[in-house]
Structure 1
């Protein structure tokens, strides 16, 4: 049976605070368009962009800085479907196919979510346990898969 679903090419950043590696704190932010939906910075890959170029652009657009050091890249693309309540309301796609990067904020990087088109209205740095209590339900499995990989590889 053929899968006729469409997936948006996307990048996502697991952003660690500048306290890493001494302290492991994950950046999460609440979306402006879906109250209570907390997530990592992410966004679509534009035509002709590489995932890395898209990563830096999305960080500037969403958190006001691309002042990060790349620690690692998840080796595979991960697909997930939007829940029925989200699907087609926000995007003309059934889900997203994402490339994840683990990054650390540079010491002098300043987060400013009041960007030209704000996508987040608040943010926090949280622990591993708090992360899975905070993020929106349909992203938890993917986040766990990615973070567990980075832990297994010794980055976290």
Structure 2
């Protein structure tokens, strides 16, 4: 890949920091939902990018994104918590929506400020609100699937 990891990630540090500051979980269950939903959104984003890069980079990205069992753990714990106290489902559903909203807001900020990233993600067309919306619609559809797996309304 040929670049220093810290240098390559520097443009994204602020957005990631803002995301984490604005989505600090209030308790363990919110932390589990944040980890599951946040990781899922990141995986979806990288999968979107992976189809736009060369084959060896794509293979590396997809290998890194392979599930290692954390998703199953999160789904099990959240479903158990809902079974024990159905009231938590509403709170956690709102929390999941907040996480996806903040993640997409930060992603849009990064894409709009990084022409090279916009070109990569949008096929060289620069920042295009319609094209960004299509990517975000696909990510949101996957978020809805993940929330359903947790037993939560998206």
Higher helix share: 2
Higher strand share: 1
| Structure number with bigger Rg | 2
How would you bin the TM-score normalised by the shorter chain? under 0.3
Q: Give the TM-score normalised by structure 1.
A: 0.27
Q: Give the TM-score normalised by structure 2.
A: 0.27
